[in-house]
Structure 1
């Protein structure tokens, strides 16, 4: 059902407006969850906030949910069958849920069923098995040459760029959307639209959106749904050799084929996750390395360190900052009783800086021997299916950029993405300097 303007506004009030108002009230009283939503300073720099939480103990009780930055607790919760994922807004008061259910648009959302992010077995098992059957380690490894070729072409196109360039727009966004577009059979002419949907729809993972932001997010989610549904119908009529066509064929041959709605939700998640995480990884990586030129010198001398450097970037600047779970039965966490039905906010970015796991956790160390213990790709049954591809794109994309433009430097402060769950740069001006390929010629 399409929303009229009144239903649209009521849905925002129930899902976001109420949360914004009550969060501001709770924030003034020092509630950590209220502060997370209402305090702009935490969005700009979450580290002081996560360290405040850490000082209060391994698990902190807010007015609505428990919160933790403890690496062991976060890891245990993400892997435990005693905690399950929740749909956006499902832990709000019952009257609000009633209003939301009756005013929500008939459009698929990444944090509502049948998205893999908000369902558990048996549906989650069925969706994930289907994607895993074609999105294999071997298939991802075979894409590495495609990643390299794409990086080379994009960097060639920058060689004649005058002055500073927005590296997010010209490179960090283009590389992953081109690769995932190939995987999912997205026509080249449509890829700029996919990037726009991702940029404007990323905040759909957040709660407590202001009205203007909610309108933009809603338009992006609707547009993405309409485009993707039509794209999948076209692939059904004219399948190719891309992985999405393989997923469609595998589904149709399965004893439990996915409905069109389930297929759209699964394909949408694979597509969005396939470039959103990597856009943030590449932008944060370029920024961090330009701020630490000594590491660039080390990587030039010891290129075998690039995989560890990527893990360290993922640890320090986790592209996904937060996740949430709900206890299905009473549990003990960090010495506290967590009753069944309680929500727990797993603060991944804080766990990635736990001093009990990472020595000198706020230091950027490209030789850190346990950098890969970060939780940036979640854990357990919801571990990111695209982790291997994101790592390959991060390694190839960053190495190739700095090999081609060793004199690159920051040309401005950049603009952070307006999201809490996802962290990255929406704009990052870079002065490239001379191209190595041009110097060799």
Structure 2
């Protein structure tokens, strides 16, 4: 099969001009608005700008916003931080995905100038479509990604984790980047096997995910914007070839089943299939990379909690839930009000944007006792909203939970003396939250 790197981008001068227009409307203009609002003390604008630095100041700002009440009114819209308000935004028919400018002049310019390749936050992506299309897509995909199918993968995931840890063994006395060697390698191998991606292409799929992760963000610089679009273009072309290959040579992987699946005689169109497969492939490992890195860091910082899990291994599943709650792999999401409504007893006008801070809802003291404490035995840790809620609840939630449990348990049981070293770096993304690098010394291994 042709590799992602070998495929031509194929952009013309006209494409470059349109790209400049699209970047200006979709990123440069919002950046200017954000900069001005942040300079005037707007907490939401400051949160978005600080989010790109990957610092812990993000949660300090979340708590400042929370202190103003369950619904903060900013120059950009509304911000929900309470558990109840965030859940309401995500589950109510009064809100949907999309932007208020979509039908205005800026929206028309953005659509005219947008790249023709598929994008994770553009239709027909499951992230942003609404019923009836969303209902049809999700029904077809859900038949393939069932809990039973995920549990059948548990033993294979344990084998992959063990193999990766074996490979890391000879480096036990030297620093190793856990993101590169383990946190990324585990989920990308699992999702690649699920989707029938040949081993020779998996490194490039990982490179794609890392290059395209900022595509969810607002306010990209032009160089980063072009880099993201090149990655999306190459991935789109590679994905088309991969799907053609599976049609000619179907396997027992789940993507082959998705290609063939039908509901009432109708399956996914080519565009819908590419969008869904691309989203599942990228989202199927990007967020799990963050979950594993965040979990390792939390357990390292709390040796007392790690000792509790050592004494009671049945807590490993709850370790995953508490990690998702306290340091979620996705910090926030957004919705638009489709009609005049109320949220947290405050009026919200039709067309207004509401930013739902998942990381804020997960630290709501009205729901979680001592919410800033990492507690592996927390009885209601699973009440977090890190996988969203309602019709856009994460399709891969069960897969992420299983991989998180297997991955965290395996590395700490194999290397109980693992020590994180200076040099850890957070990702410079506003929506996805995780580590770009996590250097560690493993210490002597233990079976």
Q: Pick the TM interval, shorter chain.
A: over 0.9
Which of 90, 93, 100 is the equivalent residue of 1:81?
93
Aligned partner of 1:61 in structure 2 is: 73
Aligned partner of 1:343 in structure 2 is: 353
Q: Which runs of 5+ in 1 are unaligned?
A: none
Q: Which runs of 5+ in 2 are unaligned?
A: 1-9
Q: How many residues are treated as equivalent by the alignment? A: 434
Aligned partner of 1:19 in structure 2 is: 30
Which of 104, 126, 129 is the equivalent residue of 2:136?
126
Aligned partner of 2:4 in structure 1 is: none
Aligned partner of 1:212 in structure 2 is: 223
Give 3-state SS (helix, strand or coil) of 1:44's partner. coil
Aligned partner of 2:279 in structure 1 is: 269
Aligned partner of 2:396 in structure 1 is: 386
Pairing of 1:240-279 with structure 2 (within 5 A) = 240-251=251-262, 254-279=264-289
Contact 2:140–2:267, Cα closer than 8 Å, also in 1: no
More contact order relative to length (CA 8 Å, sep ≥ 6): 2
Aligned partner of 1:94 in structure 2 is: 104
Pairing of 1:19-418 with structure 2 (within 5 A) = 19-39=30-50, 43-45=54-56, 46-86=58-98, 91=101, 94-161=104-171, 163-251=174-262, 254-418=264-428
Shift of 1:77: 1.3
Contact 1:20–1:37, Cα closer than 8 Å, also in 2: no
Give 3-state SS (helix, strand or coil) of 1:134's partner. coil
Shift of 1:34: 2.1
Shift of 1:322: 0.8
Which of 12, 16, 32 is the equivalent residue of 1:5?
16
Q: Distance in 2 between matches of 1:294 and 1:287?
A: 14
Residues 1:182 and 1:41: Cα distance change in structure 2 (over 3 Å): closer
Deviations 1:336-375 (A, max 9, x none): 1011121110110111100000111111111111100000
Contact 2:179–2:289, Cα closer than 8 Å, also in 1: yes
Q: Distance in 1 between matches of 2:244 and 2:85?
A: 43
Residues 1:426 and 1:411: Cα distance change in structure 2 (over 3 Å): same
Contact 2:52–2:428, Cα closer than 8 Å, also in 1: no
* Backbone CA RMSD of aligned residues: 1.5
Q: Distance in 2 between matches of 1:59 and 1:226?
A: 43
Aligned partner of 2:3 in structure 1 is: none
> In terms of mean alpha carbon deviation, does 420-429 or 326-335 score higher?
326-335
Shift of 1:310: 0.8
Contact 2:27–2:219, Cα closer than 8 Å, also in 1: yes
Contact 1:16–1:208, Cα closer than 8 Å, also in 2: yes
TM-score for both structures, normalised by structure 2: 0.94
Residues 1:31 and 1:142: Cα distance change in structure 2 (over 3 Å): same
